[in-house]
């Protein structure tokens, strides 16, 4: 499948007040292989310009170099998302409308309409993450992790699942344990809930959401519950007060080294 292409909006819905679910169609989606926690890059055009894509290339580094060669005023803004579901040549992607941020993806999602066009790179099987395997598996994240968790639920036998959201209006019809912030600091309720679980050595975990929250959860599971670092899949989807365009922090770099086994 061509790793790059155009996506056209065919439907826009609001499953919760702070979530926008967008259905896309596009060349190659019907042939898309399916796997859980399937990630892709969405390319948002700058104001006043159509989406300009680099030449298609199966090599991600060559593709990225071609992407950077696009003049800055015409270059799309690239953000990572997870496929929520797919059906007969379409995919659904969910956008969380962060109250404290108005980045390009949130800004676009607030007014997304049928017929609008974005670009994509992927999904690429090279970025496929392993599904945790153990007698006890924890899936934990905030609302940005919901699309991935929804796809993992059918792949993991009887997982322990916690999802922290703003309040009760953000719940979706999924068999998870909902935690409502109700004004509490982001991640507090999730860390409290995980601390109350007795997992122990031999368990596995999948963590995703705000990077600082994921880092705290991972430290707790390793240092206090005795999980092996290699048994924890983790990804910081977003960072408070920072965007994907900002330079990585020392903590981000340390996380990246851990994921690469360094």
Q: pLDDT tens digits for 222-237?
A: 999 999 999 999 999 9
R_g of the chain computed on alpha carbons: 18
Percent with pLDDT over 90 in the chain:
74
Q: What is the pLDDT, as a whole number, of residue 127? A: 83
How big, in percent rounded to 5, are the helix, strand and coil portions of the chain?
A: 25, 30, 40
pLDDT of residue 1: 57
Q: pLDDT value at position 100?
A: 65
**CATH code reported for the domain at 4-125:** 2.40.30.10
Q: How large is the average pLDDT for residues 81-93?
A: 94
Mean pLDDT confidence for 50-55: 89
Would you say residue 69 has pLDDT above 50? yes
Residue 201: closest CA among 227, 231, 221: 227
- Provide the pLDDT for residue 259: 47
Residue 96, pLDDT above cutoff 80: yes
Q: Say what the pTM is.
A: 0.88
Average pLDDT over residues 20-44: 93
pLDDT mean across residues, the chain: 89
Confidence of residue 116 (pLDDT cuts 50, 70, 90): very high
Which residue has 């090279």 as its token pair? Answer: 126
4-125 matches 137-259 in fold: no
Instruction: Give the mean pLDDT of 165-184.
Output: 97
Determine what percent of the chain is predicted with pLDDT higher than 70: 89
pLDDT score of 256 more than 70 = no
Q: Higher model confidence: residue 130 or residue 98?
A: 130
Domain boundaries, the chain: 4-125, 137-259
pLDDT at residue 210, as a whole number: 95
Strands 4-16 and 77-87, by their bridges, are unpaired
The whole-number pLDDT of residue 57 equals 67
Query: What are 93's strand-pairing partners?
Result: 22, 83
CATH class of 137-259: alpha beta
87-to-1, 122, 209, 214 alpha-carbon distances in Å = 17, 17, 26, 31
Higher pLDDT, 31 or 58: 31
Q: Above 90 in pLDDT, residue 3?
A: no
Using CA atoms, how far apart are residues 262 and 259, in angstroms rounded to an integer? 8
Q: What is the pLDDT of residue 148?
A: 96
* pLDDT in the model for residue 257: 43
Task: Specify the pLDDT at position 252.
Answer: 44
Six token digits for residue 131: 């599904």
């Amino acid at each position: 499948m061509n790793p790059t292409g155009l996506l056209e909006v065919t439907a826009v819905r609001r499953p919760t007040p702070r979530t926008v679910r967008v259905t896309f169609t596009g060349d190659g989606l019907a042939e898309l292989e399916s796997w859980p926690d399937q990630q892709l890059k969405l390319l948002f055009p700058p104001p006043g310009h159509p989406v300009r894509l680099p030449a298609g290339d199966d090599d991600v580094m060559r593709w990225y170099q071609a992407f950077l060669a696009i003049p800055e005023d015409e270059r799309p803004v690239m953000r990572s998302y997870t496929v929520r579901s797919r059906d007969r040549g379409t995919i659904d992607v969910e956008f969380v409308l962060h109250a404290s941020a108005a980045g390009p993806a949130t800004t676009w999602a607030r007014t997304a309409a049928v017929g609008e066009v974005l670009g994509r790179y992927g999904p690429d099987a090279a970025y496929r993450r392993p599904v945790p395997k153990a007698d006890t598996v924890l899936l934990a994240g905030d609302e940005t992790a919901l699309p991935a968790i929804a796809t993992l639920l059918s792949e993991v036998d009887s997982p322990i699942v916690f999802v922290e959201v703003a309040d009760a209006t953000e719940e979706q019809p999924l068999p998870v344990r909902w935690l409502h912030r109700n004004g509490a600091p982001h991640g507090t309720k999730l860390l409290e809930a995980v601390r109350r679980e007795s997992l122990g050595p031999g368990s596995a975990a999948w963590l995703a959401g705000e990077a600082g929250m994921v880092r705290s959860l991972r430290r707790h599971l390793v240092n206090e519950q005795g999980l092996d670092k290699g048994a924890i899949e983790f990804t910081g989807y977003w960072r408070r007060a920072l965007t994907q365009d900002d330079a990585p922090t020392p903590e981000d770099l340390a996380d990246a080294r851990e994921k690469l086994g360094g």
